[in-house]
Amino acid sequence: MTGTPLFERMALIGIGLIGSSLAQAARERGLVGEIAISTRSPETLRRAEELNLGDIYCLDAAVAVEDADLVILCVPVGANEAVAKWIAPALKKGAILTDVGSTKGSVMEQVNPHVPDGVHFIPGHPIAGTEQSGPDAGFASLFDQRWCILTPPAGVNEQALEKLAAFWRGCGSDVDQMDAKHHDLVLAIVSHLPHLIAYNIVGTADDLETVTKSEVIKYSASGFRDFTRLAASDPTMWRDVCLNNRDAILEMLSRFSEDLSAMQRAIRWGDGEMLFDLFTRTRGIRRSIIEAGQETDAPDFGRHAKD
C-alpha cells in the first residue's frame, strides 16, 4: 500500500507472536505512520527494539498509547482488564481501541467498563497463529488469507468499524463480524476443543511408563506428532482461554465426550459401519478446508514455511 497511512500512530501493548506480526505487517504495507511498543518485561522490550519492530519503546503502557489513534492489546486475555485500567486515562479522544484475544465475551466484560467516552472500543480476533511465542516468532505474512473476526458492541461508530476493518484487510485478512457470544461458541469448537484434546492426548502419553514413552517419540510420525504441535502452544495463553471461555468450552467438551462414548461403543460391538461412515464424513471436512484455502493438501503438516 502507498500513500497516506490509515493511522498516524499505532500503539501495541504486548509484543509477542501477534504483536510482532502486526508491527511487521503494518510497517511493510504502509498502514501506520509510527509504531509505539510497550510490553511488561525489559527483556522483551529490548528484543523488540533489536528486531526494529517499532519507533517508540516504553515499559509504561500509558505513555505508549498517548497520541495513538489505534491501540491494540496483544496480551493474554487474562491480562486485558489490568492493561485497560492502566491505559484508559491516557487514551486519545477519537482513538480506536481493539485487541486480538482468543475469547471475546470476557474482553467485552473486562475492558468495556474502563473505556473512556469518545474512544471507540471494537474487539477483534485474528484467526491466525502458530505454536510459537515472543517477538522473534512474528512474521509479516501471518494474517494473509486468514480471517479476522470483529465483535463490535451495539451502537458502534460505523466509521471507526470500517477503518479497523480496512486495517485488517491491509494486513492481508478477510474480515467477518459477529457478536461476542457467538464468536466464543464457534471458537470453542474450531480452536479451543482441538487444543484441549491435544493437551490431553500428549499428557496421557507423557504419563506412560518410560520405555513406552521413548517409543511414543520414536514412532510419533504415525499421528501423535500432529497433536504435539497444538500441545506446544503457550501455556499462559491457553490457561487464560480456558478460564475466559468456560461455558462454551464445557458445552463442547460434553458433546465431545458423548461422541467419544458412541465411538467406544462402536469399537466394542464391532460396528464397522458406524466407524466407516464417521471416518468418511470427517475426510470430507478436511477436503472443504483445503478448498476454502485454509490449508494445503501438501503432505506432512501441510503448512507453508515462514519464508
Query: Which positions touch ligand NAP (CB under 6 A)?
Result: 14-19, 39-41, 44, 74-77, 79, 83, 100-102, 125-126, 129-130, 133-134, 234, 236-237
Least distance to ligand NAP, CB of residue 132, Å = 7
Least distance to ligand NAP, CB of residue 102, Å = 3
C-beta closer to ligand NAP: residue 69 or 234: 234
C-beta closer to ligand NAP: residue 92 or 195: 195
Least distance to ligand NAP, CB of residue 172, Å = 14
Comparing C-alpha atoms, which of 188, 204, 191 is closest to residue 255?
188
C-beta closer to ligand NAP: residue 271 or 295: 295
- Phi and psi dihedrals of 174, rounded to 5? -95, 145
Which residues are CB-contacts of 21 (< 8 A; sequence separation ≥ 6)?
128, 138, 139, 140, 142, 143
Comparing C-alpha atoms, which of 49, 272, 16 is closest to residue 136?
16
C-beta closer to ligand NAP: residue 64 or 95: 64
C-beta closer to ligand NAP: residue 118 or 235: 235
Least distance to ligand NAP, CB of residue 237, Å = 5
Least distance to ligand NAP, CB of residue 296, Å = 19
C-beta closer to ligand NAP: residue 75 or 119: 75
Least distance to ligand NAP, CB of residue 158, Å = 25
The C-alpha cell that represents 296 in the structure block: 494445503
Specify the 3-state DSSP secondary structure of 184: helix
Cell 486480538 belongs to 100
The type of residue at 113 is: P
For residue 190, the tally of other CB atoms under 10 A from its CB is 11
Burial of 42 (0-12, 13-18, 19+ CB in 10 A): exposed
Least distance to ligand NAP, CB of residue 93, Å = 25
C-beta closer to ligand NAP: residue 86 or 256: 86
Element (H, E) at 99: strand 96-99
Looking at residue 191, what DSSP letter applies? Answer: I
- Phi and psi dihedrals of 110, rounded to 5? -90, -25
For residue 61, the tally of other CB atoms under 10 A from its CB is 25
CA dist., res. 108 & res. 121, Å (int): 9
